[in-house]
């Protein structure tokens, strides 16, 4: 029984990660074959290792399928408590397949529906827009989306499934590098969000050993993105970053920006086997609302 248990976990792990060479597989098959000389301690240890690897794999699958949606709901709730209802423009940086941007668009849609029902006199319901940016290449997009045209179709389909009305009017999908948002005007966005994207900036461009300045080069890329997020954020607007790494760096950099009035963090839940946080920052100034 232990032999079968261990081999099943080994084959599952190898099939998914391809990290175990065939020669090692054959060797383990020999050592775990049912015979009088079988080392039971070794077999139990190996079975435990296989179980741990399977748990890690299931954690990654859960993170991809559900944890990010849970984080999006948490983010929306946090933004709702910090003036999301007044937002007209939202920028989702490193949007992937649109989980965060779509969740925000759905919330804004519900807010507008409530406003219409209440029939607030003189309220100007000018359109809201969620712009979603990413680097659409196979080297930078984990989901394998090759270009913005393909990404747009995927995101629009996901948005329709989530009940977004007038998808093409509400959502805008473009190519964009978080480190250089040249297509976005200064102080033009009410809410800037980045979901599990800032921490990966620069890591596709070479390992730490291959980079001239190593870790500092990667850190610099992240700070360029943070600086751009502050630049495009409107007075009184909010920046929200959901991530599992570099929380302290995000907080320290945002606190050092003269334009930022307040920085705080919220626990974002568990995802991909790690604790995540939402780092929030509010830009100085007052929010302009339509009355």
- Residue 22's pLDDT band, with cuts at 50, 70 and 90, is very low
Q: Which residues contact 220 (CB under 8 A, 6 or more apart)?
A: 213
- Please give the pLDDT value at position 7: 53
- Residue 250's pLDDT band, with cuts at 50, 70 and 90, is very high
DSSP 36: T
CA distance 259 to 239: 12
Beta strands 260-271 and 89-93 are unpaired
CA distance 286 to 106: 25
Q: How far is CA 168 from CA 157, 160, 189, in A?
A: 11, 10, 19
- Please give the pLDDT value at position 42: 53
- Please give the pLDDT value at position 87: 93
- Please give the pLDDT value at position 161: 94
- Please give the pLDDT value at position 211: 45
CA distance 18 to 53: 13
CB under 8 A, 24+ apart: contacts of 254-259: 254/226, 254/230, 254/279, 254/281, 257/227, 257/230, 257/281, 259/230, 259/233, 259/283, 259/284
For residue 289, how many other CB atoms are within 10 A of its CB?
13
CA distance 109 to 172: 15
- Residue 114's pLDDT band, with cuts at 50, 70 and 90, is confident
CB under 8 A, 24+ apart: contacts of 14-23: 16/57
Q: Which of 215, 237, 196, 204 is nearest to 100 (CA)?
A: 196
Which segment of 113-122, 133-142, 208-217 scores lowest on mean pLDDT?
208-217
pLDDT tens, position by position, 83-93: 899 999 999 99
Going from the N-terminus, what domains does the chain have, and what CATH number goes with each?
2-57 (no CATH), 82-283 (3.40.50.150)
To the nearest whole percent, how much of the chain has pLDDT over 90? 45
- Residue 291's pLDDT band, with cuts at 50, 70 and 90, is very low
CA distance 140 to 203: 9
Mean pLDDT of the residues in the chain: 78
- Residue 113's pLDDT band, with cuts at 50, 70 and 90, is confident
State the residue for tokens 């009940």.
Answer: 163
- Please give the pLDDT value at position 264: 97
- Please give the pLDDT value at position 16: 43
CA distance 203 to 218: 7
pLDDT tens, position by position, 24-71: 444 454 455 555 555 555 556 556 666 666 666 666 655 556 778 888
pLDDT tens, position by position, 159-181: 999 999 889 999 999 989 999 99
- Please give the pLDDT value at position 217: 65
pLDDT tens, position by position, 204-227: 554 444 444 556 667 888 999 999
Give CA 236 to chain center in angstroms. Answer: 24
Task: Determine the average pLDDT of the residues in 111-128.
Answer: 68
pLDDT tens, position by position, 258-271: 999 999 999 988 87
Task: Determine the average pLDDT of the residues in 8-29.
Answer: 47
Q: Could you tell me which residues are beta bridge partners of residue 281?
A: 239, 263
Q: Could you tell me which residues are beta bridge partners of residue 269?
A: 276
CA distance 54 to 21: 18
For residue 230, how many other CB atoms are within 10 A of its CB?
21
Task: Determine the average pLDDT of the residues in 248-265.
Answer: 96
State the residue for tokens 């995101």.
Answer: 155
């Amino acid at each position: 029984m232990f032999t079968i248990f261990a081999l099943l976990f080994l084959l599952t792990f190898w099939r998914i990660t391809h990290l175990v060479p065939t020669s090692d597989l054959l060797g383990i098959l020999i050592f775990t074959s049912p015979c009088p000389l079988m080392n039971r301690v070794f077999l139990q240890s190996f079975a435990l290792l296989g179980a741990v690897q399977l748990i890690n794999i299931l954690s990654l699958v859960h993170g991809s399928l559900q944890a990010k949606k849970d984080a999006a709901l948490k983010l929306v709730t946090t933004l709702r408590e910090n003036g999301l209802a007044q937002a007209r423009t939202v920028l989702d940086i490193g949007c992937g397949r649109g989980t965060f941007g779509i969740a925000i668009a759905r919330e804004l849609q519900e807010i507008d529906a409530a406003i219409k029902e209440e029939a607030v006199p003189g309220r100007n319901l000018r359109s809201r827009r969620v712009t979603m940016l990413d680097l659409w290449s196979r080297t930078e997009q984990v989901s394998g989306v090759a270009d913005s045209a393909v990404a747009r179709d995927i995101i629009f389909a996901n948005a329709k499934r989530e009940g977004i009305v007038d998808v093409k009017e509400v959502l805008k999908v473009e190519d964009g590098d978080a480190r250089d948002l040249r297509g976005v005007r200064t102080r033009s966005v009410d809410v800037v969000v980045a979901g599990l994207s800032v921490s990966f900036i620069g890591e596709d461009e070479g390992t730490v050993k291959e980079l001239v300045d190593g870790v500092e080069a990667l850190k610099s890329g992240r700070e360029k993105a943070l600086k751009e997020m502050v630049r495009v954020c409107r007075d009184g607007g909010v920046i929200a970053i959901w991530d599992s790494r570099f929380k302290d760096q995000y907080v320290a950099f945002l606190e050092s920006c003269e334009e930022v009035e307040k920085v705080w963090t919220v626990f974002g839940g568990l995802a991909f086997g790690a604790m995540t946080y939402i780092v929030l920052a509010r830009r100085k100034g007052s929010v302009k609302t339509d009355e």
